[in-house]
Amino acid sequence: MTQSPNPISLFHDWMAEAEKSEPNDPNAMSLATATKDGVPSVRMVLLKGVDERGFVFYTNLNSRKAGELAENSNVGLCLHWKSLRKQVRVEGAVERVSDEEADAYFQSRARVSRIGAWASRQSQEMEGRFELEKRVAEYTAKFGVGEIPRPDFWGGFLVRPRAIEFWSDQKFRLHDRIVYKMTDEGWQTTRLFP
């Protein structure tokens, strides 16, 4: 693995490769959160932006994950591309993306997905599938052909990375691991035994 001085540009290179070889959702990543007492939970989310600030995903702000993020901002991310035999792990803390950034992303989504965001009370108990379908029909009628604003209970989180690890499969399980740690002097790299 070539040792790039900047993990974000290396990440972009790997994502570009994954976009060519993965059958679907190369931007799917597991997101680990924890309660204030440190009880963890993990689920997949889609990575919707990466730049020098960090990694952005969007979700319902009343969901379980958002509740955990409100009491403990520390997270872990993990992307694994089977087709490339590569993994990236990120550790950091979240902050909310601005309303402008969330609005811009929300408006880029398909109309049915925007209605879905209004209709879903994510992570709350539901009597049956019909309850969801009824809510989708209600919001479809409510918005008609007009604008669909971003719900105030839906937004984005930016994971500001403290550490990013790149793992690449090598022969005989002698895999490559490079860790980038954010320090006062910028990114410092180290190699780890596999």
Ligand X SMILES: Cc1cc2nc3c(=O)[nH]c(=O)nc-3n(C[C@H](O)[C@H](O)[C@H](O)COP(=O)(O)O)c2cc1C
Other C-beta atoms closer than 10 Å to the C-beta of 65 total 23
In 10 A of CB 50, how many CB atoms? 17
What are the tokens at 159?
């994971």
Please tell me the distance from the alpha carbon of residue 67 to that of residue 64, in angstroms, as a whole number.
5
Q: Which stretch binds ligand X (CB under 6 A): 8-16, 36-44, 109-117, 181-189?
A: 36-44
To the query of whether residue 96 is one of the catalytic residues in this protein, the response is: no
Residues 106-145 that bind ligand X (CB under 6 A): 122-123
Q: Which of 11, 14, 55, 57 binds ligand X (CB under 6 A)?
A: 57
Minimum distance, C-beta of residue 30 to ligand X, in the bound complex (Å): 9
Smallest distance, ligand X to C-beta of residue 40, A:
11
28 binds ligand X (CB under 6 A): yes
We find the least distance from the C-beta atom of residue 12 to ligand X, in angstroms, to be 19
CA 47 to chain centre: 4
Name the burial class of residue 9, with classes exposed (0-12), middle (13-18) and buried (19+) by CB atoms within 10 angstroms of its CB.
exposed
Stretch 59-88: interaction string toward ligand X, x if CB under 6 A? xx--xxx-----------------------
CB 35 to ligand X: min, Å: 12
Q: Which two tokens stand for residue 123?
A: 């992570």
In this chain, which of 45, 78, 93, 136 binds ligand X, going by CB under 6 A?
45
Q: Any idea how long the chain is?
A: 194
The answer to whether 161 and 168 are in contact (CB under 8 A) is no
Q: Identify the residue whose tokens are 């990120």.
A: 90
Tell me which of 53, 173, 177, 191 is the catalytic residue. Answer: 173
Active site residues: 173
Residues that bind ligand X (CB under 6 A): 25, 28, 41, 43-46, 57-60, 63-65, 122-123
